[in-house]
Amino acid sequence: SYKSTKMLLFLLTLLSILFNVRAQIRLVGGSSPSSGRVEVYHNSEWGTICDDGFNRAAANVICRQLGFGQVINFFNAEEGSGKIWLDNLYCTGSEEDITKCTSNGSDLQWGVNDCIHLEDVGISCSVNEDNKNASVRLVGGSDNASGVVFIQQNNIWVPQTVNTTTANSYCKQLGFSAVSEIDWSYSSGFIFCQKVRLVGGDSKLNGKVEMFYDNKWGSVCGFAEKSSADMICHELGFTKSLFTYNSFGKSNESSLFTVSCSKSTNRFNDCEFTSTTDCSDLHVVCTNDDDDGDDKDQLRPISGHKIFSIFIAFIAWGALLYCVCSRCYNQREKRERRPIIGYPMV
């Protein structure tokens, strides 16, 4: 339930604080989870770090603490708000945590600075291939596609506050196409990743339809109404569908789902899905063109069976034409070879 989910998240957050004596750090406002303004949690409040005296060694400590690789660069970030917790942060680069570093020439002096938020520091970290998926998880949702974002820091899972940009990045790291919704009633943001995707196409506008259902990806098969195809394209950020078609023959995917959407359904995720073992994969072609054109009624779903029937009909007509022409040619040849009365046949 909603209350039990919030209680679980509260307990997880409390445990992460009690057992994590290291400073909590996050990157905010960047184009990905591995880049952004550095913020540190102290005295129950998030605050920034001033760029005075900040060096690459300190940036490397922070990147490593967040579970990323080496620092790519550090920079003046978009200005934050609230406290500026640290100034003249100095690290040698060997520290496991910034609490082992110094500020203003001595042990960390929280809140002691002569900076303004225009001097907030930001960093960009490299991403280790091994950590792209393992270091991020969603907690508290009904499945692995929804929940509060937790990042693993030094073997401890710490909740993260998200924005639209970072939520998209987290969903993509977990194998989803994008974020579909964020519930801001949670202080850190409760995200729902997009559970439909197109794969195997020659562009992002088309491909085989796959659905994340029962915590696994499976192919959607059978036929889809135009309204269902439009929902798929709309949820993926496109304006509408152009047409659908089915693969030849039976699908070789291990997980297959047929879909049924009622007229009152507004989201493809809310349609009814039924497991099956015998059908062909559904493909959708989407467009970003808002102009329906004069021939919009001519766009119809095309099935692989129809294409196959057309192909067989073409072969049949070709064979019939060959037989007719061969018969005509043979009869003509016989007439030409028939002997004229009174003359022997050569």
Question: Do 90 and 101 touch, CB atoms closer than 8 A?
Answer: yes
Residue 6 main-chain phi, psi, to 5 deg: -65, -40
Question: How many residues appear in the chain?
Answer: 346
Read off the pTM: 0.48
Classify 282 in phi/psi space as left (phi over 0), alpha (psi -120 to 50) or beta.
beta
Cα 80 to Cα 89: distance, rounded to the nearest angstrom: 18
Per-residue pLDDT of the chain (346 residues; tens, 9 = 90+): 545 555 555 555 544 444 444 567 888 888 777 888 999 988 888 899 999 999 999 999 998 887 778 899 999 999 999 999 999 999 999 888 898 899 988 888 999 999 999 999 999 988 755 444 457 888 888 888 888 888 876 667 778 888 888 888 888 878 787 888 898 888 778 999 988 888 888 888 888 888 887 777 888 877 777 888 888 888 888 888 888 887 765 656 666 777 777 777 777 777 787 777 777 888 899 998 765 444 343 334 444 444 544 555 566 666 666 665 666 555 555 555 555 555 555 4
For every residue of 275-319, which 3-state class applies, written as one string? EECCCCEEEEEEECCCCCCCCHHHCCCECHHHHHHHHHHHHHHHH
221 by Cβ neighbours in 10 Å (0-12 / 13-18 / 19+) ranks as buried
The H-assigned helical ranges of the chain are 2-19, 56-65, 131-134, 164-173, 226-235, 304-337
Residue 341 main-chain phi, psi, to 5 deg: -60, 130
Question: Do 219 and 244 touch, CB atoms closer than 8 A?
Answer: no
Which tokens go with 13? Answer: 């957050």
Cα 177 to Cα 149: distance, rounded to the nearest angstrom: 16
Cα 30 to Cα 337: distance, rounded to the nearest angstrom: 89
In angstroms, the Cα distances linking 329 to 193, 324, 336 are 68, 9, 11
Q: How would you label 191-207 residue by residue, b for 16+ Cβ within 10 Å and e otherwise?
A: bbbbbbbbeeeeeebbb
Which tokens go with 83? Answer: 């406290």
Max intra-chain CA distance, the chain: 130
Cα 76 to Cα 119: distance, rounded to the nearest angstrom: 6
Residue 268 main-chain phi, psi, to 5 deg: -65, -30
